[in-house]
Amino acid sequence: MLSITHGQKTGCTGHLICICSNLKCIGCHCVVGVVVNSTPQHLDVLRSVFILYKTSINCYILNSKRTVKASKLTFDFEPLGTTINNLKQQVEALSVPVSLIRKRLSERSTSSETCD
């Protein structure tokens, strides 16, 4: 279980400041990560993201039913930007059929108005 403590500012240049809250373990009160509350506009995608420190957490491995330090694991994730670009392409691919449906509905309503 985690608790959230109030904002702390992080940043090194004085221009690009994110406001984060600490995530603390309820049991031992250690800070195990942060949640990003506020970001500059170009980092919008990071808002509300929970960032856990690998050195502070343990992972439960489902298949082996073991608990290990997260720092001993490697995670094979795609960079976030790649995932977001893939999602954008999927949304754009879906938006074409929706626009066709709208067009057909508007044509249908126009033709039914003229039939009366």
Q: How far is the CB of 54 from Zn ion (least distance, A)?
A: 15
Residue nearest Zn ion (C-beta atom): 25
Site for Zn ion in 14-43 (CB under 5 A): 25, 27-28
Write down the residue that tokens 């600490």 correspond to.
22
Q: How far is the CB of 25 from Zn ion (least distance, A)?
A: 3
Q: Which two tokens stand for residue 39?
A: 């970001």
For the chain, count helices (H), then strands (E).
1, 7
Q: Is 1 in the site for Zn ion (CB under 5 A)?
A: no
Q: Which two tokens stand for residue 25?
A: 């373990």
Q: How far is the CB of 55 from Zn ion (least distance, A)?
A: 13
**Could you list the residues that contact Zn ion (CB under 5 A)?**
25, 27-28
